[in-house]
Amino acid sequence: MDAKDTRSTWCAVARGTEEEEGESEEREKRDVQGDARHRRTQALVQSVKPRPTSLAKRKRVLAFVRKVVDKALQGKGRVVHAYTFGSVPLETYLPDGDIDVCIFARGKPLPEDWVAKLQDALLRTQEEQGSTMGVRNVTAINAEVKLCKCNVDNILVDFSASQLSGLSTLLFLEEVNLLVGRENLVKDSIILVKAWCFYESRIMGAQHALLSTYALETMVLYIISYFHEHAKTPLEVLHLFLRYFSEFDWEQHYLSLEGVHWKDTREPCPLDGEQRPLLSADYLRHALRTYCPAGEAFGTEKCTMTMKFLNVMDPLLPSNNLGRSVSHASFRRIRKALARGASELNEIFGMSEAESLPALEAFFWKHYCSSGKSNGAGGSTSSKREKCTGSRSASGPGAQHGSGTGHGRGSFAPGGRFNTLFGRSSEC
């Protein structure tokens, strides 16, 4: 079976026949055609998405650092290659996103002191007067995974070596985006959720004991997979993301793309049986066999990852906890931020179309400030912010979500995820 047939097979596994999907997409387009809220959200997504000038600049930086890598590490019997992974090649990076570069060697392996050699080469470039790129803040990190960091032309660049996991994740996310379709729903949803988490709530950043990008991406995939009948636009994905994870019982359960599991027994919590996930168990096993970076055994009966406060299983490496960076204090902060966002977006979805547009801009207030945008419809964004948040501040997110702990009335039992969200009652 060739690659094209394989792709068609897994498309059928993940979302049904092509004919049914084509009819579904036509219905979706008609549903959102006259939705001004959807159009405004799409404009927001477009404002955050990488622009041609940004992509061109990152390509220039990448070409430059590849030349430096070649000079520093190329040797007799050794050919080096530098590949990008992460949000830049996926084109889901935010305006100030960095570039992740992984170095591989063909022939002779990389020397043990490759970080020091690369650091020296970058420092020499920094000192050269005629350099076409400004290089500064060159740092070597000799940890378990050796890294070299620098700033090139005001863009952060992180170097690692011989790490397949980042490239595997990139290929997996690209494939899932193709499988889901819907005009790049996966990528646009990742961008919108990242923008809210980074600009509006400041809950992203593994280096600050907050959510890692990959954990957030996996959570977005979970929402799209299990709520695919309702998550048809990036704004709907964000809404479901905030509602579901603000009330998810992280103390008792952990999350994987195969479903919700109990932390103590590592057993799956039964679903309510009303909706099958878009990313089926068969497809996820196929992805694990194809992309598992370390050749880890797939189909393991028990989860072996170490539990922390917010636990998300890596779909390509089941022993890896993508939420391990989150501290207890950050966990509480994340949950409160999600609850506050869910409460505000619930109100916006309950407004008329005319009222919801300025409220939506207020919801993404910090993004509009960072991008220097105005509302373009009369009056400043700041005045709309004050107008639209006045009523919310009176009741506060606690009116609907308690103190943000997620254990109040209406919290999400894993087995009743669909019933709770869409007006039915069920227990796990």
Contact (Cβ atoms closer than 8 angstroms) between residue 105 and residue 77: no
d(CA 258, CA 242): 20
Tell which residue, 293, 338, 63, 29, has the closest CA to residue 169. 293
Structure tokens at 44: 């927001």
Handedness of CA 233, 235, 240, 245 (dihedral sign): positive
- Contacts of 82 by beta carbon, 8 Å cutoff, 6+ apart: 62, 65, 66, 69, 101, 102, 103, 104, 159
β 313-314/317-321 pair status: antiparallel
Helix axes 353-363, 328-349, angle to 10 degrees: 160
Name 248's bridge partners: 412
Q: Please calculate the CA angle 337-323-315 and round it to the nearest 5 degrees.
A: 120
β 313-314/155-161 pair status: unpaired
Predicted TM-score (pTM) of the model is 0.79
CB atoms within 10 A of CB 245: 24
The low-confidence residues of the chain, meaning pLDDT below 70, are 1-35, 129-131, 271-275, 293-303, 366-428
Q: Please calculate the CA angle 114-205-386 and round it to the nearest 5 degrees.
A: 150
Q: What per-residue confidence (pLDDT) applies to 162?
A: 93
> Tokens 């107008």 — which residue?
387
Q: What per-residue confidence (pLDDT) applies to 366?
A: 64
What single DSSP character describes residue 204?
Answer: B
Q: What per-residue confidence (pLDDT) applies to 184?
A: 92
